Amino acid sequence: MALNAEFSEVDKFVAEFENVVKNPIKERSSVYYTGVDLGTACTVVATLDENKRPVAGRYLYPEKPVVRDGMVVDYIGAVNIVRRMKEEIEEELGTELRWGAAAIPPGTDTLDGGAVRNVTESAGFTVTNLQDEPTAANNLLKIQNGAVVDIGGGTTGISIIKDGEVVFTDDEPTGGTHFSLVLAGAFKESFEEAELYKRDPKNHAEIFPVLRPTVQKVAQIVKEMVEGYDVDELVLVGGSCCLTGIEKEIEAWTGIPTHKPQNPLFITPLGIALSCTDEPKF
């Protein structure tokens, strides 16, 4: 796949991670940094070495959601998933993963930030950082002026960035789950069947006309979020942005240049891992 010139370094980093998920780098590092992205549709654990380069990872689409609309709804299930993924990576690398970071939808720190942190700690990590998801994504993207839009399974979150600093964050409950619900209704199939069908890029040209109104709803949410701010560009991340053509529709609706890097599913977890340190902040 050709790399997007604007995000060439980001895309290379993502490609490295995709490779180490299948072929972990077992050379010993003095320290490991891990990011835990506890998503509505997919949970990702990404581990970096002392140079902050990918060495191992896991991702899983749980049969039973442990997060809904950005909120933990099955605490024990979430802990078990993250713990199992952690143990599998530890076995591959032959070491213990101690330091971890996590992220939450913007504006949910008083509601659910404690739950996400507690899940990560209960899975065996010492949590050293907890950011909102689009801000975490920008640790990898390094956008100086613009907005990072994280379209996940349950919510759409945004971080507006000015001169490299986050000046506004927000989150609304519309995302990939709603795409699947629309498809299930349109094709008269189960939610689970719609989810699987949606993930296959071969089906995107067929399903996009059905999903266009819901994509436009997401675009309208983003448009309202950025109102009053001078936003040069939108950068899309999150698993739901894997939908082919979503960036063009959002750009047409908002009037703001819109881009997405390669495999946006992994941008936020890798950004979370980049925020991890070996000095707890809590």
For the stretch 183-229, pLDDT in tens is 999 999 999 999 999 999 999 999 999 999 999 999 999 999 999 99
> For the residues 21-29, what does the mean pLDDT come to?
96
Instruction: Give the phi and the psi of residue 138 in degrees, each rounded to 5.
Output: -75, -10
Q: How far is CA 277 from CA 48, 53, 117, in A?
A: 11, 14, 15
> For the residues 40-44, what does the mean pLDDT come to?
91
Q: What is the pLDDT of residue 113?
A: 55
Q: How high does pLDDT run on average in the chain?
A: 92
The predicted-structure confidence for 132-142, as pLDDT tens digits, reads as follows: 999 999 999 99
> For the residues 170-195, what does the mean pLDDT come to?
93
Q: Domain residue spans in the chain?
A: 5-137+265-275, 142-263
Burial of 98 (0-12, 13-18, 19+ CB in 10 A): middle
DSSP secondary structure code for residue 110 in this structure: T
Q: Which of 1-15, 60-74, 168-182 is predicted with the least confidence, judged by mean pLDDT?
A: 1-15
| Cα–Cα distance, 26 to 141 (Å, whole number) | 27
> For the residues 49-59, what does the mean pLDDT come to?
98
**pLDDT over 90 at 48, yes or no:** yes
Predicted TM-score (pTM) of the model is 0.93
Q: What is the pLDDT of residue 14?
A: 97
CATH T-level assignment (fold) for domain 5-137+265-275? Nucleotidyltransferase; domain 5 (3.30.420)
Band the pLDDT of 1: cuts 50, 70, 90: very low
Q: Which class is domain 142-263? A: alpha beta
Q: How far is CA 144 from CA 75, 123, 139, 269, in A?
A: 36, 34, 11, 20
Q: What is the pLDDT of residue 200?
A: 96
Q: What is the pLDDT of residue 108?
A: 67
The predicted-structure confidence for 143-153, as pLDDT tens digits, reads as follows: 999 999 999 88
Q: What is the pLDDT of residue 110?
A: 56
Q: Which residues pair with 129 in a beta bridge?
A: 101
> For the residues 271-277, what does the mean pLDDT come to?
97
> For the residues 156-171, what does the mean pLDDT come to?
93
Q: Please determine whether the domains at 5-137+265-275 and 142-263 fall in the same fold group of CATH.
A: yes
Band the pLDDT of 3: cuts 50, 70, 90: very low
> For the residues 219-248, what does the mean pLDDT come to?
95
Sign of the Cα torsion 237, 20, 18, 125 reads: negative
Q: Which residues touch 112 (CB under 8 Å, ≥6 apart)? A: 70, 71, 72, 104, 105
